Amino acid sequence: MLHINECRMCNGFSVLQIKKFLTRVDTLFPIHISEKTDLEQLSEKYIQKALLIGFCDSNDEVIALIAGYINDEETKIGYISLLAVEPEFQNKGFARLLIAAFIEAAKGKKIKRVFLFTHNSNKKAIGFYRKNGFIEEPQDIRPEDIKFIKDL
């Protein structure tokens, strides 16, 4: 049994680390990530283009991760593509710390707003985002999802 004090913030991820993590958390989502995209390709995309912030255990296995994009210099809008925490580490503050770190990085890039989507049946995520200052924004692009935004 791993204790929370054995975990640390980590970066410099490999495609393999990300793919293994995505495989472990895949079924936590109402619509599995693997039903929407290939996990290997997504891992490669994240490594190449996304801001990745995570927590790793003592074996360098990712146990919590946020992936997003803060590179739109024109609109100054960031996007959180994924926030996931392995079940045994949920409700310990990792997701809150990851959101805070992502927002600080976004502010550092002069991003003015971040947004994300979550499935409308994912009540735990909906409550989490509301509690962390995100508000719902009407949208028609993804009818099964709720769009959340947060002004920075």
Q: Give the integer Cα–Cα distance in Å for 39 and 4.
A: 27
Cα dist. 58→7, 14, 121 in Å? 6, 16, 34
Q: Between vectors from CA 89 to CA 86 and to CA 90, what angle results, nearest 5°?
A: 85
Single-letter residue type at 129: Y
Positive or negative CA dihedral for 113, 127, 19, 60?
positive
pLDDT for 11 equals 72
Verdict on whether the full-model pTM lies above 0.85: yes
- Report domain extents, the chain: 4-151
Q: Give pairs for 130-134: CB < 8 Å, separation 24+.
A: 132/96, 132/99
Q: What is the model's pLDDT at position 6?
A: 60
Per-residue pLDDT of the chain (152 residues; tens, 9 = 90+): 444 456 677 778 999 999 999 999 999 999 999 999 999 999 999 999 999 999 999 888 999 999 999 999 999 999 999 999 999 999 999 999 999 999 999 999 999 999 999 999 999 999 999 999 999 999 999 999 999 999 99
Instruction: Assign domain 4-151 to a CATH class.
Output: alpha beta
Which residue, 12, 125, 120, is CA-closest to 62?
12
Please give the pLDDT value at position 3. 47
